[in-house]
């Protein structure tokens, strides 16, 4: 007996959702990188451990 599999349309919908979230996360990651660069001089961890 073949195992029940999801319909192709369901999988397509899932992939579409995942792609949408991936694009949103990519944009957020870019924003975070910009913020990190902007506030780098104030980074306590770098000063505490002397990483230059």
Sign of the CA dihedral with 21 first, then 26, 31, and 36 last:
positive
Distance CA 3, CA 37 (A): 51
Q: Count structural domains, the chain.
A: 1
Host domain of residue 25: 11-49
Q: How far is CA 39 from CA 1, 9, 30, 47, in A?
A: 60, 45, 15, 13
* Average of per-residue pLDDT across 18-40: 84
* Residue 44 is assigned to a structural domain of this protein: yes
Distance CA 16, CA 25 (A): 14
Distance CA 17, CA 24 (A): 11
Q: pTM, whole model, 2 decimals? A: 0.39
Q: What is the pLDDT of residue 29?
A: 86
Q: Give the model confidence (pLDDT) of 30-46 as tens digits.
A: 888 888 888 777 777 66
* Residue 33 is assigned to a structural domain of this protein: yes
Q: What is the pLDDT of residue 42?
A: 72
* Residue 2 is assigned to a structural domain of this protein: no
* Residue 4 is assigned to a structural domain of this protein: no
């Amino acid at each position: 007996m073949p195992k029940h599999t999801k319909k192709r349309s369901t999988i397509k919908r899932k992939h579409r959702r995942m792609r949408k979230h991936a694009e949103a996360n990519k944009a957020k990651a870019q924003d975070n990188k910009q913020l990190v660069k902007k506030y780098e001089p104030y980074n306590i961890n770098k000063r505490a451990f002397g990483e230059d």
